[in-house]
Amino acid sequence: MRLFVAIRFTPEVQNTLIDCIKELKSSSLSGNFTRPENLHLTLAFIGETSNLNAAKKCMDAISCGKFDITLKGFGRFGDLWWVGLAENPKLSMLVKDLQQRLRDCGFNISTRPFRPHITIAREVKTVSDQIHLNVPNISMTVDRISLMKSERIEGKLIYTQLYAKHL
């Protein structure tokens, strides 16, 4: 199965992101917009594995405690659009720790620098290059991290939480 570790959002943050998606949709010709239930922040992409227990153990070893995150800004990687987060040393330390633990367990985790982004749409074709999204700087407390399974069922991307580690 295809796994990743993520932060899932409070209803308030999710609703804010839904508004951003609506705004982007209204300025786009077409795009593959993230469904509300799929919105998340990836902390580590594990990829194909059957070793669920090893991934859970790595998550259990994290001892960073709760912390806050704040939405900030938006951007794009080519035709993929994202909402960003305010700089966050606690988040960076958590990701560094988690990714290293996963590597030490034998998972092939990318060594590319972590760029926190919440993907709100892929394959977007916009009318103009001058699109602005209004992203309110709202915050939430992160009190858990989730082990997610990603699968495609009848063409639809489905994410299922398999495990949650409380911080």
45 touches ligand 2AM (CB under 6 A): yes
Tokens read off for 13: 């943050």
119 touches ligand 2AM (CB under 6 A): yes
Query: CB–CB of 103/10 below 8 Å?
Result: no
Supply the minimum distance, in Å, between the C-beta of residue 148 and ligand 2AM.
7
The CA-based angle 21-113-90, given to 5 degrees, is 80
Supply the minimum distance, in Å, between the C-beta of residue 105 and ligand 2AM.
17
User: Which one, of 42, 37, 44, 31, lies nearest residue 18 by Cα?
Assistant: 37
Query: CB–CB of 41/84 below 8 Å?
Result: no
Supply the minimum distance, in Å, between the C-beta of residue 59 and ligand 2AM.
16
Q: How many residues bind ligand 2AM (CB under 6 A)?
A: 6
32 touches ligand 2AM (CB under 6 A): no
Binding mask 78-117 for ligand 2AM (x = CB under 6 A): --------------------------------x-------
Question: Which stretches of 27-122 are DSSP H helices?
Answer: 52-60, 89-104
Distance CA 69, CA 95 (A): 13
30 touches ligand 2AM (CB under 6 A): no
- Pick between residue 5 and residue 16 the one whose CB is nearest to ligand 2AM: 5
Q: Which class for 17: exposed (0-12), middle (13-18), buried (19 or more C-beta within 10 A)?
A: buried
Which residues ranging from 142 to 161 are in contact with ligand 2AM (CB under 6 A)?
A: 150
Interface residues toward ligand 2AM, by CB under 6 A: 4, 42, 45, 110, 119, 150
